[in-house]
Amino acid sequence: MLNADLEAMAEQVAELILESKRIVVFTGAGISTESGIPDFRGKDGIWTKMDPEDFTIQRFIARPEVRKMQWKMLAEGGLVKDVKPNAAHYAIAELEKLGRLDCIVTQNIDNLHQLAGNSPGIVFELHGNMQFVRCLGCHRRWPMAEILARLAVEELPVCEHCRGILKPDAVFFGESLPQAVLSEAARRAAQSDLCIVIGSTLVVYPAAQIPVYACDAGAKLVIINIGATPMDSKAAVRIEGKAGETMTAVINYVKKKMSKGSY
Catalytic machinery residues? 127
Contact 88, 199 (CB under 8 A): yes
Sign of CA dihedral 189, 31, 120, 160: positive
C-alpha span between 108 and 31 (Å, rounded): 9
Closest CA to 16 of 237, 198, 233: 237
- According to DSSP, residue 178 is labeled -
Contact 221, 214 (CB under 8 A): yes
Q: How far apart are the first and last CA of the chain?
A: 26
HSE-up of residue 109 (Cα within 13 Å, Cβ side): 21
Contact 164, 136 (CB under 8 A): yes
Residues 6+ apart with CB under 8 A from 160: none
Closest CA to 123 of 140, 101, 138, 142: 101
Describe the strand order of the beta sheet including 220-224 as a list of residue ranges: 123-125, 103-106, 23-27, 194-198, 220-224, 237-239
Residues 6+ apart with CB under 8 A from 164: 135, 136, 137, 138, 158
